[in-house]
Structure 1
């Protein structure tokens, strides 16, 4: 399964999953259709699945046009998003499985950013390879999504699931927010040497117009304040040792940053 990152809009990423042997593809969160259609044409591949993580327009905006060209493509999304995902045919819940290209994705129910958000996790096929996590807008490189429909308690519970994944799991989040996220992270975790090093690396990468996605769970656990609600530095910045209150206060600070 090859993963192709497609940059669209201002800062969105669409992910095209491709099986070149079978000449089939699945797409994760198609914000717009045309770049996906162009890549499918280039690869001479048929779209067989659309994997949506949540209902926001910059994640589902290409569904209808893609279905016009590939009407047999199956649209997957969370059961709680019923009625909000164009073309949805499969209504997923925690623990469900999605098959593609001889790989099986596990479905995580991860509300917080929205009430219905899900993630797709493809475990590694060998011990030396990374797993692949497609987490939409719940976990970002260096950050997490705004709490539009969910609660801080839900977000802590959701992020707990994700930070338990193997450290070499690649994090395919849907936006290029990393540099700004790390600027905020330094404001609440200034003495973290791993964070300082990452900030300099990301700054250099963005100066070269290079993407910072995918990230990895391991580096997120070391540098992402929204996975570090139990770290003394983050608790001190939030003036709380309660996980939910800590995340809520840090998220509120980020909203105003």
Structure 2
């Protein structure tokens, strides 16, 4: 199984999942149908399924047109019916070619957010939507800091070699904030330079890995006292002793950065 990014809008990626040796494809969060159709036409591929992580238009805007064109199943949050054809809940299984993905509910960025995880291949895969970014996490558009902390804790438990496919190219901006909290993190300093080179070449900084996020992503490291103290200082606050409030301090510091 191959996974390729299709750039869309200013900084979105629509992920294309390809089955080796066959001209079939799935897509994840197709906010723009024309981007997908152009790729399928150029590569002579047929769309046979869609995964949706949440309801925002930059993730769903192309679903209806693609569904009508290819008569394919669409998996996603249940309240999006009839746009989606197969409602998904936590721990549900979705078969994508030779892989089985498990739905992981991660309400926070939106209350309907779902990630999709598979460990049925040699390398585990996570489609994280707008929950987990490289170096960051989604804004709390509908949910709470406690909910996002719960989501981060769920994703922390995935195998460290898991490849993380999020849907926005926010990496360098996220890393600027991460560095403000963790200036002596040698791995962070190293990957920032690597990502600068990638972006200069107009190459995606994705996928990431859970291992990398555990080492560099402040939203997976809000149990580190010094990191939260710097976030609180940026807010002119005293560091909280409550885990959910600590996460909130880091999130609000990023929002104001």
What TM-score bracket applies, with the shorter chain setting the length? over 0.9
Q: 2:172 aligned with 1:176, yes or no?
A: no
Name the counterpart of 2:188. 195
The within-5 A match list for 1:214-253 is: 214-237=207-230, 238=232, 239-253=239-253
Separation (CA, whole Å) in 2 of partners of 1:170 and 1:9: 23
Q: How far is 1:182 from its partner? A: 0.2
Over the aligned positions, Cα root-mean-square deviation in angstroms equals 1.4
The within-5 A match list for 1:135-154 is: 135-154=128-147
User: Would the alpha carbon gap of residues 208 and 45 (structure 1) be closer, same or farther in structure 2, given more than 3 Å must change?
Assistant: closer
Q: How far is 1:218 from its partner? A: 0.4
Separation (CA, whole Å) in 1 of partners of 2:195 and 2:145: 28
Determine which of 78, 83, 92 is the counterpart of 1:96. Answer: 92
How many residues end up aligned between the 2 structures?
250
Q: How far is 1:86 from its partner? A: 6.1
Separation (CA, whole Å) in 2 of partners of 1:171 and 1:86: 29
Q: How far is 1:124 from its partner? A: 4.2
Separation (CA, whole Å) in 2 of partners of 1:34 and 1:76: 20
Please give the per-residue CA displacement for 1:150-198, whole angstroms capped at 9, x wherever unaligned.
0111101111111111111111000000000000111111222221222
User: Would the alpha carbon gap of residues 187 and 76 (structure 1) be closer, same or farther in structure 2, given more than 3 Å must change?
Assistant: same
The within-5 A match list for 1:32-51 is: 32-51=32-51
Separation (CA, whole Å) in 2 of partners of 1:192 and 1:169: 22
Name the counterpart of 2:75. 76
TM-score normalised over the length of structure 1 = 0.93
Aligned partner of residue 127 in structure 2, secondary structure: strand
Answer whether contact 2:75 2:84 (CA < 8 A) is retained: yes
Separation (CA, whole Å) in 1 of partners of 2:184 and 2:82: 46
Separation (CA, whole Å) in 2 of partners of 1:49 and 1:181: 31
Structure 1 window deviating more from structure 2 (157-166 vs 17-26): it is 17-26
Separation (CA, whole Å) in 1 of partners of 2:37 and 2:242: 47
Aligned partner of residue 88 in structure 1, secondary structure: coil
Answer whether contact 1:123 1:130 (CA < 8 A) is retained: yes
Separation (CA, whole Å) in 2 of partners of 1:251 and 1:138: 13
Name the counterpart of 1:111. 107
> Structure 2: 5+ residue runs without aligned partners?
233-238
> Structure 1: 5+ residue runs without aligned partners?
none
Q: How far is 1:21 from its partner? A: 3.2
Separation (CA, whole Å) in 1 of partners of 2:247 and 2:89: 25
TM-score normalised over the length of structure 2 = 0.93
Answer whether contact 2:106 2:113 (CA < 8 A) is retained: yes
Separation (CA, whole Å) in 2 of partners of 1:44 and 1:31: 21
Separation (CA, whole Å) in 2 of partners of 1:161 and 1:137: 15
Separation (CA, whole Å) in 1 of partners of 2:225 and 2:193: 23
Answer whether contact 2:228 2:249 (CA < 8 A) is retained: no
